[in-house]
Structure 1
Amino acid sequence: MAFRRFLSSLGINAPSVETVPDRTAVRPGEQLGCTVTVRGGGADVTIERLTLQVVARFEDLEGGEHGWDNPGALLTSGVPGPFTLPAGATRTERVVFDLPWEMPLTHVLGGRRLRGARVAVRTELAVDNAVDKGDFDEFEVHALPAQDIVLQAYADLGFRFDEAECKQGTPSAAVRSQVGWWQEIEMWFPADYRRDGQNEIAFNARHDSLDLLTGGDGLLTFDYRELDPAQVTKVIDEHARSRFAQ
């Protein structure tokens, strides 16, 4: 997974840039390293800044249900500038992201893709006061084991996943989020709930536990050391029926 793009918008003497992430799949709380190689063009240039961002699809920024043209930044890192890149020279840099525990998921339950969920690394190169945002390379964020246990419980109870959306802000004042965005996972109710519409949940994960926000304000907290799939299913069923079943 890599891109190499000649910055044609900057002229025929422009440099090229290639970004190669260390791996294509991660989990929340892990690191993602990237190797960035900038190659000089036909003339010396001044690199004002070299910036890498971890970005995600925010539906409200796209102007359409399926767009992936205006991703929102989750994390930003880069190489301080300015620096001179001589004609034909090569400069290689390492950038490492510490992914937050609240990282939005793209894959769950052993590799099932969440519709609407996309994340990527985007590289921005500012050359002689001209900025080229380049392309962005997608990677996968797989659920933590605890998140998969919770999602499997919903699946076993008959809930059907619809899509996932990233949103700005925090899902509720009741959760202890350390970031300024969150992911909502939407699912259809089982038939025996006799309820129209969807159930919306959000995770707020940490290294030792996670909060499960249901229906906007219902809150359950699970300790990783005490997770029993059968018990989790029972707790979620009782909680959901007390709030939603007619």
Structure 2
Amino acid sequence: MAFRTFLSSMGINAPAVDTVPGRDAVRPGEELPFEVVVRGGGADVKVDRLAVELLIRVEDSESTETGWTNPHVLASSDTGSFALAAKEDRVFESSLVIPWEMPLTHALGNRLKGARCALRTTMEIDNAVDRGDFDEIAVHARPVQDAMFQAFADLGFRFDEAEVKQYYRNFQQTQTLPYCQELEFWFPSSYHRQDQLEMSVITADAESVEVIPGAAGSFLFAADELDVQRWTSWLDEFCRERWAR
């Protein structure tokens, strides 16, 4: 996967940038390596800033499922300023750490409706800033998160949409990012509900999982105890205690 952006305000002989991630799919907690190739244009220039940013789409009143409105930066890598001669090629290698709480775009190998993540390269020369295009990357669920999705499916829930909202739901003091991903599932008929269960799952590290089902409180688990069977048992018991009577 690669993307190229041109400083169009400087003309057709402007410097160009190719950013190539080392992989097109990651999981929370992993590193995403990448290579940035900067190609000089028709004249010597000083690049004031060259940055690669990890973006997420956060819901607001103007966002749509297919567009990006005011994307939020979760991590960035910045080369600082450097001189770029005409026709010179410069190569930079770096990586970004994917936060443990990174919103997912895929679970059980499938794309989650409403969830999006991307890399964006920003170049600044003489106060001209070009953010250009950006390419989306896939953030797959960790095993403990995939197990949760499988439990929902096994119980007959139907996934609807994922949304990232800018707020804290830090009941157990595990949340570190000011964003929370809500996963919306339609209830099966066995729970006598015709609406959705909104589930937030906060995994701020490799060991713990905080589960926030709607407005019904918060539950903290050790990640290694949540396999499909444990998820299924807990979720079914939780729902039946509240609704299947």
Which of 96, 117, 120 is equivalent to 2:118?
120
Which of 130, 139, 142 is equivalent to 2:140?
142
Partner of 1:12: 12
Structure 1: 5+ residue stretches without partners:
none
Change (3 A) 1:61 1:23: farther
Alignment partners' CA distance in 1, 2:216 and 2:18: 44
Aligned residues: 244
Identity among equivalent positions (%) equals 50
Partner of 1:49: 49
User: CA RMSD of the aligned region, Å?
Assistant: 1.7
Alignment partners' CA distance in 2, 1:218 and 1:202: 11
**4+ residue segments displaced more than 6 Å:** none
Alignment partners' CA distance in 1, 2:70 and 2:2: 20
Q: Match of 2:7, as an amino acid? A: L
Partner of 1:243: 242
Matches within 5 A, 1:1-246: 1-60=1-60, 62-68=62-68, 70-81=70-81, 83-109=82-108, 111-205=109-203, 206-245=205-244
CA-CA distance at 1:100 after TM superposition: 1.1
Which TM-score applies when normalising by structure 1?
0.92
CA-CA distance at 1:217 after TM superposition: 4.3
Alignment partners' CA distance in 2, 1:228 and 1:15: 51
Which TM-score applies when normalising by structure 2?
0.93
Change (3 A) 1:102 1:244: farther
CA-CA distance at 1:204 after TM superposition: 0.9
Structure 2: 5+ residue stretches without partners:
none
Whether the 8 Å contact between 1:201 and 1:216 is mirrored in structure 2 is no
CA-CA distance at 1:119 after TM superposition: 0.6
Q: Match of 1:165, as an amino acid? A: E
